[in-house]
Copies of this chain bind each other. A is one copy, B any other.
Amino acid sequence: MHSDPYRLNPEGMHPEALYASLTSSVRRLVDVTIRSQSDPDTIVSAKAKIDAAATELSDALIPGSFGIEAGSDGRPRAWGNAVIGLRNALAPPLIVHHEADGSVWADVVLGAAYEGPPGHVHGGICALLLDHVLGATAHKPGRPAVTGTLTLRYELGTRLGPLRAEARVDRVEGAKTYAVGHLSTEDGVTVRAEGVFIHPRQTAVLDTAPPR
């Protein structure tokens, strides 16, 4: 779960790989911060290293939040996004696959940081993932969609571990996309969702392709 798919080579390393590697390390840190049983002196020592790392990274900061920036390949990057953000350690991150028929899916493994009821995914985290994948069905090049309404029906507890999130378009009416989807684990479907996603009037958002 915490394996690092990128070799760390600062000389000529692609920024995407460098940031992915850094964020992967922060995700591991978030996990062990919850589960550590180390003694107080060790915790104090670890905290000092974390503070030093944060200070180093604060040399120069993007003001406010990441937003969306244009990548070197021209595609928009939502690297700060709470669900898919490459640089956001809160994001699992979800890798959303778009099928030719307009449906989307993502496989993800959720660990200790996503817990609500003991051993189970927080109901609100289920909502977070479903909001994102349902919204992804409505996302069109140059036309971002925002959530209008979202209804969730919890059928089973969603155990921590591997799960799939999937969604498809039910119908489109003008600026509104009606999407449906669900989460599933080895126990079967755990949460079902339906939502209406709206394309607001064109804004100045950089958005010529689905963000990644």
Residues on A facing B (Cβ under 8 Å): 8, 10, 13, 15, 18-19, 21-23, 25-26, 28-30, 32-47, 49-54, 56-68, 79-83, 85, 87-90, 111-119, 122-125, 127-132, 135, 144, 146-154, 157, 160, 205
List chain B residues, Cβ under 8 A from A83: 116, 122, 124
A34 to B61, CA, bound (A): 9
| A-B residue pairs in contact (CB < 8 Å), sample of 8 | A33-B88, A36-B57, A36-B59, A49-B52, A49-B56, A80-B112, A127-B127, A149-B151
A154 to B53, CA, bound (A): 38
| Contact (Cβ within 8 A) B40 A46 | no
Q: Which residue of B lies closest to A135 (CB)?
A: B123
Q: Which residue of B lies closest to A113 (CB)?
A: B90
Report A135 CB to chain B, min CB distance, Å: 7
Known: A46-B57, A49-B53. 13 other contacts (CB 8 A): A25-B47, A28-B54, A34-B85, A35-B61, A38-B56, A38-B58, A42-B59, A46-B56, A65-B111, A80-B115, A123-B131, A123-B135, A127-B127
Most buried by B among A21, A63, A65: A65
| Contact (Cβ within 8 A) B82 A116 | yes
Which one, B10, B18, B43, B57, contacts A22 given CB within 8 A?
Answer: B43
List chain B residues, Cβ under 8 A from A63: 35
Report A167 CB to chain B, min CB distance, Å: 13
A50 to B32, CA, bound (A): 11
List chain B residues, Cβ under 8 A from A153: 148-149
Q: Which residue of B lies closest to A38 (CB)?
A: B59
A47 to B62, CA, bound (A): 19
A199 to B41, CA, bound (A): 41
List chain B residues, Cβ under 8 A from A29: 26, 29, 50, 53-54, 57, 89
| Contact (Cβ within 8 A) B68 A118 | yes
List chain B residues, Cβ under 8 A from A28: 51, 54
- With A47-B22, A124-B129 in contact, is A88–B34 under 8 Å at CB? yes
